[in-house]
Structure 1
Amino acid sequence: MSVPPPPSDVARSPGDPAPVAQRHASARGPQFSWSESRARLLRRCRRAYYLSYYAAHEGWRAPAGTTSWLAYRLKKLTTLPALVGVAVHRAASTCARTLAAGGPLPSYRALRATAAAELNGGWRQARDGITAFLRRPAAVCMLDEFLYGHGPDAQALDRARAVLDGSLRALTTVDALWDGVRRAAPEDVIVLDPFWHFELPPDGTTVFAAPDLLVRPARDARWEVTDFKSGRPDHVIDQLLTYAVAAREGLGLDADDGMVGRVVALSGSPGERETTVLLTTDDLEAASARIRDGVGAMHALLRDVRRNLPLAADAFAPATNPATCRTCAFRGLCHPDDFPSRLTGAVGSAAP
């Protein structure tokens, strides 16, 4: 199968709505859910939100080269900083689980070897595996930097190494990070799967919000909600409050006296690494209301809420700030001049 660059259903003027005629038809949309990242994407760009959560739905089985097929694959892109962040969070989870089980804190060398293996594997897949990625995008790592360019430059690589090394050294040398875990009973140390979710009352909306670490240092202490950051700590209070709501509503943890929110900027300077804030019950109620308001804003863009079917594509206006587009995985769909040449050449070979 040969597809001209770019595919015909995305070759349009910048800003025009992405047509849906060629996408795989479905009587029901994807399962509706809410998350902080989904809400941020909606605020940043409605077009990207539509492409990510609706056009990409069932794109794994859509005809090759259609908008749905492409959107599904572009949604699977990651970046080098994100890949480093995942490796750091896995290392933090390893530390917490090991300490909670009574073991010693893992060494920097052990964590670094595991992280390096993960990152090197992802790098090789992204560099060499464009055809494999198009065939099995859920199983093959692809970096935005490789699909849209020639890979991360030397400066980006240096930054990634610095963040990785600084974060792992902080995890393994700053004992104060783990004081609460060492004092807590094993059952009072909770590390969740990254895709853990709960149902928010009263409507039972699925909310994805997995705190990095939940600890109650003593039976008479407040629960601590920890968010580890390997990059710039943006939106930290909203994220902490969402995690606290998840802990209370999804896990049933006691929050009558509030909770302690804790942001750990692992790659930051020692004096600015950790920030704590009291999250009161009033704060948690306001956060729950904010989530429900966010759900309402998303529902307003649906023509059928029960089946989670979106309005027409032109209801989802693209961002107007060029800086937003420069870092968007879907920029090749909205701006034909940015359509990745590596994707054009490989579409045909990816067809079954």
Structure 2
Amino acid sequence: RFEIFALGGGSMDFGLMLRGQFEQGEDMGVRFGELMEQARLANELGFASITKGSHYSAYPLQDFQQLPFLARVAAEAPDLRLNAGIVLLSLHKPLDLAEQLASIDVMSGGRLIFGAGLGYREVEFRAFGSTQKERVKRFEENLEAVKRLWTEEKVSMKASHFELIEASCPMKPIQKPHPPIWIGANSDPGIRRAAQMGDCWYINPHNRLDTTLRQIDVYRRALDEYGKPFPQELPMRREVFVAPTRADAIRICKPFLEIKYKVYHQWGQDKAMPEGDNDLGMEFEELIRDRFLIGSPDEVSEQILTLSQDIGVNHFIMSVQWPGMPQSLVLDTMHILAEEVLPKVRQGM
């Protein structure tokens, strides 16, 4: 698999994001078969992980739900780690989530990554009986409860939206003390929370590079404050597309990537982003600048090396499909990444 040794004796893993978002009218049965083909190819090409995100009420897009999807991928891609990245933790009840995730970890032989985030969409909060105002408190309570359920035999805990009375998660995860907890965060307070409560900060795909460089300092200072070392694994997700030239890459991916970010702008993703880097409604060429990795194999490999050297990223997760993109283009992109880009990264390290 792709485990590239980096400066200082570290290594870099490469993962694939199977976003699974498609436009209305698409045959989701056909699309599911295509996603499983992508998972099998990722396994064959030596990627390290498969990531699946989560949204509810995703109109105007259609989307597969995260946990059943990953349970199926566990069988299709037996060598890959399974990143539930991210679970919208503040929406859920901790006992249900602890048992669901423990089941996937056991069923997969200990390959689960538990990605956790707040969420930002009012339609999701309301549908689950919550509000934006409650999300941080619920997130923190839920994460504490899930950890305790995974590591203790019986748990009693009274929280704002649940009560555990000698509750148990009898089937514990295989990974000890529990699966890795990656906390996704856009804002500075969220990054501090990741330092305090998570195994690492799962760096988001939307912020510009200059914002991320500033925020990695926020993260380091928070780790120092909480007396925690810099994590052995620092993951980041980015939108990635490769073609013979940057102009070709932009021309080919623009119709598909533009659809996604117009929808995210409508959903209010911008509001969850830090001041000064919170407008996803700008023109496409401005949107992608210093934000996404789009270009020739040489250009994209250099950008990945920069992320490793300047930020410390060592698990790089690539989104390579967006609404409307044909399967043949996705598979071609995966091959180019595996056969042209990642070897260049290896040489650069």
Q: TM-score range by the shorter chain?
A: under 0.3
TM-score by length of 2: 0.27
Greater relative contact order (Cα < 8 A, sep 6+): 1
TM-score, length of structure 1 as denominator length: 0.27
Q: Higher strand share goes to which structure?
A: 2
